Amino acid sequence: MTENPPPDSLTGILTSLRERVMGVSESVLSTIDGLLVVADADTVHPESVAALAAATLGVGRRMADTTGVGALREVVARCGSGHVIVLAVGDRALLTVKGDDGLDLVAFQRESPAAVEQLNKVLASDVAN
């Protein structure tokens, strides 16, 4: 029997998001420059996702700046059989979430801010120590 990671660990936060939101299947936490921190993933290559998330966020931020619509919060790609969502976690990290075609976007939008805040707190405490 596998044990769930503690809810205050990075992996625990990712696992909790997957368990709370129907359709979230995998997630990757990375640095803003595309280096893998931790992943809750089985089918994606986490290092590749981390690198692509950095590029995605960079383009999204540039688009937000150019159009003057405020600070970028997330980039959502709706694909043929699911979604890929990249969210900023503070100024130094990114959360990339893969959702299947049944992703509950309303639940995701409700639950993801708390997950991002938790991730940011754990990362900040790690840097402080």
DSSP 85-123: EEEEETTTEEEEEEEETT--HHHHHHHHHHHHHHHHHHH
- Per-residue pLDDT tens over the stretch 18-72: 999 999 999 999 999 999 999 999 999 999 999 999 999 999 999 999 999 998 8
Nearest-10 crossing angle of helices 10-20, 105-128: 170
Q: Using 50, 70 and 90 to split pLDDT, how confident is the model at 2?
A: very low
Total domains present in the chain? 1
Report the CATH number at residue 115.
3.30.450.30
Whether the CB-CB separation of 56 and 86 falls below 8 Å is answered with: yes
Domain hosting residue 54, numbered range: 10-124
Do the domain assignments include residue 129? no
Neighbours of 117 (CB within 10 A): 13
- Amino acid, single-letter form, for residue 113: P
> What pLDDT was estimated at residue 1?
39
Q: Across all residues in the chain, what is the average pLDDT?
A: 91
Query: Could you give the CA distance from residue 85 to residue 92 in angstroms, rounded to a whole number?
Result: 17
Q: Residue 4 domain-assigned? A: no
Q: Is 1 part of any domain?
A: no
Q: Specify if 114 maps to a domain.
A: yes
Is residue 2 situated within a structural domain? Answer: no
Asked if residue 15 belongs to a domain, the reply is yes
Say whether pLDDT at 127 is over 70.
no
Alpha-helical (H) ranges within 1-95 are 10-20, 46-67
Mean pLDDT, residues 4-28 taken together? 88
Classify residue 75: in a domain, yes or no.
yes
Q: Confirm whether 62 is domain-assigned.
A: yes
